[in-house]
């Protein structure tokens, strides 16, 4: 399974208020929603690993406020688990260390659970904030779609279907031949997600900790988005402000990966992709090639989207229902009717075919690739590519070819120390390097034209 994150390029709408995006800092243990023993264990394990530890270091490591920490630290000192190792002139200037008995207890806690990261948030707090942030996903306009996807060359009917689906938050299936640009289009949809969201470092489910925040998936907001928020010091540091996530799953996906993943070394679970994509976009690429039946995958994810809940199993315990609010996009090169029966197809709201380009769109896309790559374009050579190379071989005008051909023209030119130009000779050279030539000199297609040039 591959997880891919992209981020919104523009956000023309006003930012939501900080209080709506980010919970306030807890002023006491009760306001964290966490049991005192859990916080005590986190403190003791942090000091066990670090030795003599300043109060300020504990706040940074556990992402808890000074007031919350002091409340639990006082209890640990009273129970002779901790002692004050050094105290300065101010209340903040204090260091703690474990007593001999405390070291034994902390060691036992660490052996039972190796987690030493930020303090988690409760499942109820997480569900409430996800629901609130889901309501702030702004309605998509035709202008937004045209601006972001102006270079994708979708037909007007396709654009209208895609826009309507995204506007309503409905499930989308992009289908068509390999190389037609479906996967690239799906990922570009992430740029249409406006606003920012708060994601917890970790989540408490029962007595287990689930890590939700992933630095590779949950990208930091753009500077202008942060400027719109203003003052942030009064917010709960257990949450991280992020752009709306875009998570992509590929053909390696198995049913087990939609469950919580045990991380023995970190001493916690890792959230499945449908949780990591909350308030964002979840893409299932190469649908039908996963290590689980396509119908099972479709049913599980569409049901979670419809209900707004996803059922996950924690260890040997029974299933737990977790909030699931996301936009769902499936991508496949297989004919939909070959994958699903009629009832399953009805679960997909919008089925949008992405086919080969017409000659004018293909020429425009090729020219754009040349301009962006610094390759000199030529109209006569372009006609040769479309009429002779594509026409003679029967290869459709797929969106994947311009970038591949232009890239190879640059490769050869760079190696030879020559300017990169589109000519009949450089096109022939690039074309021959992409496809095997038959004994009669005609270009032959691979037996199964898939993966290599897919975009």
Q: 310: part of which helix (H) or strand (E)?
A: strand 309-313
pLDDT of the residue at 389:
96
Q: At what angle do helices 36-50 and 66-78 cross, to 10 degrees?
A: 80
Nearest CA to 237 out of 200, 280, 184, 281 is that of 200
Distance CA 370, CA 364 (A): 10
Domain map (residue ranges) of the chain: 18-22+122-353, 35-117, 359-453
Q: Which CATH number fits domain 35-117: 1.10.30.50, 3.40.50.300, 2.60.40.10, 1.10.10.10?
A: 1.10.10.10
Best CATH choice for the domain 18-22+122-353 from the list 3.40.50.300, 2.60.40.730, 3.40.718.10, 3.40.50.10860: 3.40.50.300
pLDDT at res. 144? 83
Q: How far apart are the C-alpha atoms of 409 and 189, rounded to whole Å?
A: 30
Question: Do the domains spanning 18-22+122-353 and 35-117 agree at the CATH topology level?
Answer: no
Residues whose CB falls within 8 Å of the CB of residue 209, separated by 6 or more in sequence, listed in order: 113, 115, 117, 120, 202, 203, 267, 268, 269
Q: Does CATH number 3.40.50.720 belong to domain 359-453?
A: no
At 342 the three-state DSSP class reads helix
Looking at residue 408, its pLDDT comes to 97
Per run of 10 residues, the mean pLDDT along the chain (length 455 residues) is: 41 51 91 97 97 95 96 97 91 92 97 96 96 75 84 86 90 95 92 88 94 94 72 82 93 92 92 95 95 94 94 79 95 95 94 95 95 96 97 94 97 96 97 71 42 37
Query: What is this structure's pTM?
Result: 0.86
Judged on CB neighbours under 10 Å (0-12, 13-18, 19+), 313 is exposed
């Amino acid at each position: 399974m591959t997880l891919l994150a992209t981020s919104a390029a523009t956000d023309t709408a006003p930012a939501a208020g900080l209080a709506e995006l980010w919970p306030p800092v807890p002023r006491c243990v009760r306001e964290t929603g966490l049991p005192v023993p859990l916080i005590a264990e986190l403190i003791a394990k942090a000091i066990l690993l670090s030795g003599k530890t300043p109060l300020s270091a504990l706040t940074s490591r556990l992402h808890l406020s000074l007031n919350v920490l002091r409340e639990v630290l006082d209890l640990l000192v009273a129970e002779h688990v901790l002692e004050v190792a050094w105290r300065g002139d101010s209340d903040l200037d204090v260091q703690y260390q474990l007593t001999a008995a405390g070291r034994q207890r902390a060691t036992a806690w660490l052996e039972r659970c190796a987690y030493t990261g930020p303090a988690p948030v409760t499942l109820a707090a997480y569900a409430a904030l996800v629901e609130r942030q889901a309501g702030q996903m702004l309605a998509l306009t035709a202008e937004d779609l045209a601006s972001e996807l102006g270079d994708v060359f979708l037909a007007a009917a396709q654009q209208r279907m895609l826009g309507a689906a995204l506007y309503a938050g409905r499930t989308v299936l992009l289908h068509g031949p390999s190389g037609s640009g479906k996967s690239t289009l799906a990922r570009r949809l992430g740029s249409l997600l406006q606003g920012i969201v708060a994601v917890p470092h970790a989540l408490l489910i029962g007595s287990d900790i689930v890590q939700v925040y992933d630095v590779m998936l949950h990208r930091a907001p753009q500077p202008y988005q942060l400027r719109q928020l203003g003052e942030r010091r009064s917010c709960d540091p257990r949450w991280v402000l992020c752009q709306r996530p875009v998570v992509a799953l590929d053909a390696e996906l198995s049913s087990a990966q939609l469950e919580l993943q045990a991380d023995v070394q970190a001493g916690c679970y890792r959230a499945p992709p449908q949780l990591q994509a909350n308030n964002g976009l979840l893409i299932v690429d190469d649908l039908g090639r996963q290590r689980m039946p396509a119908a099972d995958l479709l049913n599980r994810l569409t049901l979670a989207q419809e209900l707004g809940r996803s059922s996950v199993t924690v260890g040997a315990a029974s299933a737990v229902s977790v909030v699931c609010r996301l936009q769902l996009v499936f991508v496949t090169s297989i004919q939909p009717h070959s994958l699903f029966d009629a009832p399953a197809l009805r679960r997909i709201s919008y089925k949008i075919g992405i086919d080969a380009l017409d000659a004018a769109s293909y020429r425009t896309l090729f020219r754009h690739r040349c301009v962006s790559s610094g390759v000199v374009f030529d109209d006569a050579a372009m006609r040769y590519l479309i009429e002779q190379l594509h026409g003679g071989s029967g290869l459709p005008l797929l969106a994947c070819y311009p970038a591949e051909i232009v890239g190879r023209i640059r490769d050869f030119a760079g190696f030879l120390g020559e300017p990169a130009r589109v000519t009949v000779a450089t096109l022939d050279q690039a074309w021959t390097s992409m496809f095997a030539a038959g004994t009669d000199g005609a270009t032959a297609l691979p037996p199964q034209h898939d993966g290599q040039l897919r975009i």
